[in-house]
Structure 1
Amino acid sequence: MKAALYARYSSDNQRDASIEDQLRLCRHYADKQGWTIVDSYTDRAISGASLLRPGIQELIHDALRGKFVVVLAEAMDRLSRDQEDIAGLFKRMAFANVRIVTLSEGDVTHLHVGLKGTMNALFLKDLADKTRRGLRGRVEEGKSGGGLCFGYDVVKQFAASGEPIRGDRTINETEAAVVRRIFTDYLAGKSSRTIAFQLNSEGVPGPQGADWGPTTIHGNPKRGVGILNNELYVGRLVWNRLRYLKDPDTGKRVSRLNPESEWIVQDVPELRIVDQELWELVKARQQTLAYEAPEPGENTLNERRRPKHLFSGLVKCGCCGGGYVMISKELLGCATARNKGICQNRTNIRRDDLETSVLNGLRTHLMEPELFKEFCDEFTREVNRLRMERGADLAAKRTEIPRIDRELDKLMKLILASDDLEASKRVMRQMKELENRKEELEKALTEAEEPPPLLHPNMAEIYRQRISALNESLQSDETKAEAMEVVRTLVDRVTLVPEDGRLAVVLRGDLAAMLRFAAGKKKPDVLSEVGLIGDLLSPTSLVAGTRCDRWHEFRSRLIFIGFDKVQDAEQLAA
């Protein structure tokens, strides 16, 4: 029986050797059962409260492909501690006809899933409650409940027993001076964006060594986040202002604001950095400006809405790699240059001009009919070659099977006619070899896949016609939304590179998406040939610029569109 092993530990504080310990016990058990271990899957320092783990996802994928018939782990809580997830995993494994076996529970059944799933979920809840109880006791003693704010350092000290004393903080004078400067500049009338710009231009490191941004400074007053809203700077430690939940769909932690009655507040005057008068004046200016960052979760539809503009989120700066965003009703500009000041690209472009340029590039440059025709011809020749090789190989295997049958008949007659025992043994060994060879051939013929269909000879012209039809659809209010979605799938990235006061547009498109679009199918069979298409579409994108005038690279007998000389993205122009 083919078995797969799975091991996991959940905390960075646990030893990495825990994985090897689990796998060693599982291997010993598998050896006793006579199982063949085909693979092992691991997740290191990842909580079992979600299935969004690379190791368990790979295990599920391979199980559905029939790679093994048994999953072996130390215990069910290694697979998952969530009731919904362990039930879903059990259901998927049952569908794939794969058993789940653990060293603790043995063969996992519906009863285990129900009872142990509930126990594991209660364990997580009890662990969270105990952790919060410990943190609350630490906060009520005037110590930190976790995390390190900008402006402070961790005090490392040990008790007489050798145990570390946690939660003590001391002021970092260098960072404290930056905090006071931010408060003073904000009160002087500077915006948070201007302050972030100046700090970055002077090379002042931000929290955790990152660059300064406007939201790092102004944050959200209601939630107490951001430099200007951190009450610890006035010697007031606030704990339990927020609670964190895991999104069941993404596995990411999402914060929620607790009622003020549940907050734990302690005075820690020794950690004060900002004078009370300065703090109150800054709070008064915030109230005057009436700025409030949007509450997470206030409008969940925003996360699912369609992009407002055709290439929203796809336009990038060619200097820093940051996004180009709307800086006025019609203009796009580099967000990094405007908000952080660490990029020198201050050249802007009208949104409608950019959209027109990109659509023209899709139609005339990114996949020119002449270039795409050569690509299609080469693709067709390669597929034909593979078909001929595969066809010849399959034909040879089909021809070999009757020949093996004839040889087996002859050898059988020799055994029946011979009285020599040694000769009969030699003949039987030959027969066994021939039978094994026949079994291999039959298996290969059974698993053989049909070769992929060829590209349409007029694929380039079909692509051009479909792009033209898309342009027309974008002009109609009824079809604009759907056409925008299609166009966005064809474009990987739009990079804007400043050149002599103007912006060059470098358009990068997804070749696989273009082939699917031209074929008129979401998943055409022509893209299903993994062995061939993996070479064909790597790299997966095509680039349009000023000198897209020849095919420059051969790879695995297949040709890609490229440039005559490509050294840096800044050399490319649209």
Structure 2
Amino acid sequence: MIPAVIYARYSTDMQSASSVEDQIRLCAERAAREGMAVSQHYADHGISGASLMRPGIQQLLQDAMAGKFQVVFAEALDRISRDQEDVAAVFKRLNFAGVQIITLSEGAISELHIGLKGTMNALFLKDLSDKTRRGLRGRVEAGKSGGGNSYGYDVVRKVNAAGEPERGDRKINEDQADIIRRVFNEYAAGTSPRVIAKTLNAEHVPGPTGKTWGPSTIHGNKDRGTGILNNELYIGRLVWNRLRYIKAPETGKRLSRLNPADQWIVQDVPHLRIIDDDLWQKVKARQDATSLGKHDKSKAAGFWDRRRPRFLLSGLIKCGCCGSTFVKISQHHFGCASARNKGTCENKRTIRRDVLESSVLNALQHRLMDDKLLAVFCEEYTRHLNALRMAESGNRAKDEARLQKVIRELDRMIDAICDGVPAERVKDRMIALEAERAEIEKRLEAEPKEEKPLLHPSMGERYRQGVMRLREALADQDAPHEAVEILRGLIDRIVLHPSSEEESGFVMDIEGDLAGILSLCQTSKKAAGLSPDDLMQMKLVAGVGFEPTTFRL
């Protein structure tokens, strides 16, 4: 029997977890009628179809490339994705892997479905977005919330005379309102957001998210209206459409953009006022003075007023006690951000930047690629790569066999026409076979026939030489940026654990990207013959990357 799998998804617009089970049941019935054996189910619960950043669909694509099945069943094409570009990408990858998509709504999916349904789904998302915004605007102009809630308020739940829920009403939470007034008064009196946050955390006051307070939670961004000190709802002004959100095409993450002021919708809601005008103006005056001090070139700017340069390991260093990022706390030292800004971590130790960078570079160059462990990896990788090649060869063999069968059937039809069979009787079948023939031939031409080279036996030494060249490049002031980016690409994160044996020392774990290491081992693209897809497959084989390298500082 042909191996098949099922993909199901329900999104937040459906609000029904049972939808996944319903989709799987219907698809399983269809697969049984087709005489196919369903080996696995893939599902994404409560995730929008506007992005491919979903664990279920990503695992399906990975297993498809490994040759684990030949058919994917789904309720409809929009269950796989509503984005036209993403639908085309999934179809292309599955088609390359020799996997067919069959949906209950459209049947066997072809290029025609991808173009037509993809466009329809994209238009559906756009129309849904426009209708949602129209509804939210009407609610805001009526003085109600346009979605979400702010710290200091509770959601009011009630129903109208028809028994339908009325949404958008809020009321003041007096306990949280007292905290807001306290934050405003302390800031106006000269207390920094960092000290305010540490004090609130020491008193175990829950933050707006129910977790700890941070300085950015308080000061936010004045232009964007974020942060406790910038929320105009606290003075009875409801501002909507200040920001718009778009999704990054590569990551699917939502990014905010500031709208022009003439597009903002502002309504007075005096019953939601928490802060009086005098206190609000004092806070704004201090914010303006602080901002002016940072940008006044005539004044001697201190360390915290300067634009900090990007260091070699910035953003990669994590605290082994709480998991927070290590940040620059002075000109030469890194320290735990939570310990310094929130007071929620006991790890008060610091480390010099030059000591940390030198230690990491030495570890990468001399302690990472152990010859014995490297030999084990090369053996395992070669075995896995050969398995993938066998799967690819199997798919190619199926295509070649099918191509010969199509050619023989076309020849028989031509012979039948020559023997007197009316051409109209076989015309449609011949057109379909010719189209299938062209598709198979195109697929065979696109598949590489030559075998890719295996890992070079001296990969460990090449890696060490590559790191040495990068260290030399870092010392070159003319072109350090490229070297920094390459070296940072080898490291996922660096975890610093306080050493129990030394009062000021650390135990450091380095976790990295195996694909980056393998690419660094290449002497040239031509010699290595490894494409970006190959490197990605290597990373999938190794999971998150190489195992942590641990040593003491």
TM-score by length of 1: 0.70
Q: Distance in 2 between matches of 1:375 and 1:6?
A: 38
Structure 1 segment 169-568 matched on structure 2, within 5 A: 169-290=170-291, 308-362=310-364, 366=367, 372=370, 470-477=470-477, 480-481=480-481, 483-485=483-485, 487-488=487-488, 491=491, 493-498=493-498, 502-508=504-510, 510=512, 516=518, 540-545=546-551
Answer with 200-209 or 536-545: which moved more: 536-545
Quick one: structure 1 residues 362 and 185, their matched pair in 2 at CA, closer, same or farther if it must change by over 3 Å? same
Give 1:16's aligned amino acid: A
Deviations 1:288-320 (A, max 9, x none): 2227999xxxxxxxxxxxx93222222233333
- 2:20 pairs with 1:19: yes
- 2:91 pairs with 1:85: no
- 1:494 and 1:507 in contact (8 A); partners too: yes
Partner of 1:155: 156
In the TM superposition, what is the alpha-carbon distance from 1:483 to its structure 2 partner? 4.6
In the TM superposition, what is the alpha-carbon distance from 1:213 to its structure 2 partner? 1.3
Partner of 2:389: none
In the TM superposition, what is the alpha-carbon distance from 1:359 to its structure 2 partner? 3.5
Answer with 505-514 or 242-251: which moved more: 505-514
TM-score by length of 2: 0.72
Partner of 1:9: 10
Helix, strand or coil at the partner of 1:245: strand
In the TM superposition, what is the alpha-carbon distance from 1:13 to its structure 2 partner? 5.7
In the TM superposition, what is the alpha-carbon distance from 1:26 to its structure 2 partner? 1.6
Deviations 1:156-190 (A, max 9, x none): 22334432221111111111111001110110011
Helix, strand or coil at the partner of 1:136: helix
Deviations 1:386-432 (A, max 9, x none): 9xxxxxxxxxxxxxxxxxxxxxxxxxxxxxxxxxxxxxxxxxxxxxx
How many residue pairs were aligned?
A: 462
Deviations 1:34-91 (A, max 9, x none): 2332333222111111222222223333334443333322222222222222233333
Give 1:506's aligned amino acid: M
Answer with 266-275 or 472-481: which moved more: 472-481
- 2:76 pairs with 1:54: no
Quick one: structure 1 residues 476 and 46, their matched pair in 2 at CA, closer, same or farther if it must change by over 3 Å? same
**Root mean square deviation, CA, Å:** 3.9
Gap runs ≥5 in structure 2: 296-308, 384-450
Helix, strand or coil at the partner of 1:47: coil
Quick one: structure 1 residues 489 and 91, their matched pair in 2 at CA, closer, same or farther if it must change by over 3 Å? closer
- 1:332 and 1:348 in contact (8 A); partners too: yes
Q: Distance in 1 between matches of 2:340 and 2:170?
A: 35
Q: Distance in 2 between matches of 1:455 and 1:68?
A: 34
Deviations 1:221-254 (A, max 9, x none): 2111111111111111111222222222211112
Partner of 1:548: none
Quick one: structure 1 residues 88 and 539, their matched pair in 2 at CA, closer, same or farther if it must change by over 3 Å? closer
Answer with 338-347 or 63-72: which moved more: 63-72
Gap runs ≥5 in structure 1: 295-306, 387-448, 546-572
Quick one: structure 1 residues 199 and 105, their matched pair in 2 at CA, closer, same or farther if it must change by over 3 Å? same
In the TM superposition, what is the alpha-carbon distance from 1:360 to its structure 2 partner? 4.1
Helix, strand or coil at the partner of 1:209: coil
Q: Distance in 2 between matches of 1:82 and 1:537?
A: 28
Q: Distance in 2 between matches of 1:78 and 1:204?
A: 43
Q: Distance in 2 between matches of 1:187 and 1:64?
A: 60
Answer with 314-323 or 129-138: which moved more: 314-323
Structure showing greater radius of gyration is: 1
- 2:490 and 2:517 in contact (8 A); partners too: no
- 2:514 and 2:542 in contact (8 A); partners too: no
Q: Distance in 2 between matches of 1:119 and 1:379?
A: 47
Answer with 91-100 or 221-230: which moved more: 91-100
Deviations 1:90-112 (A, max 9, x none): 33344344333222222333333
In the TM superposition, what is the alpha-carbon distance from 1:216 to its structure 2 partner? 1.0
Deviations 1:360-398 (A, max 9, x none): 44556x359xxx466578889x98xx9xxxxxxxxxxxx
Partner of 2:132: 131
Q: Distance in 1 between matches of 2:65 and 2:149?
A: 44
Q: Distance in 2 between matches of 1:320 and 1:114?
A: 49
Structure 1 segment 113-124 matched on structure 2, within 5 A: 113-124=114-125
